[in-house]
Amino acid sequence: MTFDISKYAGQIAQATQARVSRENIAQGDHILQIEGVKGLTSQNDGSDYIIIEASIYTSNTMKQGTPVKHMYKLTGVPSWKQKGNLEALKSFVCSVLPPEFRSQVTAEVVINACNGGTESALVNHQVRCRVIEKKSKLDKAFLETNWMPVDGALPQAATNDDDDANDLPF
């Protein structure tokens, strides 16, 4: 008796692709290649999250190609924490935009950037991420994540509309 893949081919084709296990972004200075950005509501506690999925392009502490993630919780946190997370997400989005568009972030830009998973407008773009250790007022250590543009020319993802030079890149 020989193995016949055709018995399983239909089921495999219809299956949901397994998620890549990702590490949290470690302390250090990194250039990330964005692979997905998505929002979700947790089935455990009903909290809303934005999840940034990427791979290490270059880093001073992590191996090139390492799949990484960073999550921002938007509900179920104190108002000061939510405000900080929203500010960090805006920094993330602005860091991917060309300089001339960073002051033009609208709700529509955020929806295109922080939605769609692997279809997010930010996929295939690069961003600099610095994760540094800080101390709280109560002297507790925590990691702060800072998003910045990549120095020099950004490799931009292709857009479908090249008619207007003043259009945002997504």
Cβ neighbors of 45 (< 8 A, separation 6 or more) are 76
Q: pTM to 2 decimals?
A: 0.79
Q: Tell me the C-alpha distance between 14 and 55, whole Å.
A: 27
Q: Tell me the C-alpha distance between 68 and 144, whole Å.
A: 16
User: Would you give per-residue pLDDT tens digits along the chain (170 residues)?
Assistant: 799 899 889 999 998 887 788 999 999 999 999 999 999 999 999 999 999 999 999 999 999 999 999 999 999 999 999 999 999 999 999 999 888 888 889 999 999 888 888 888 899 999 999 999 999 899 999 999 999 999 654 333 333 344 444 455 55
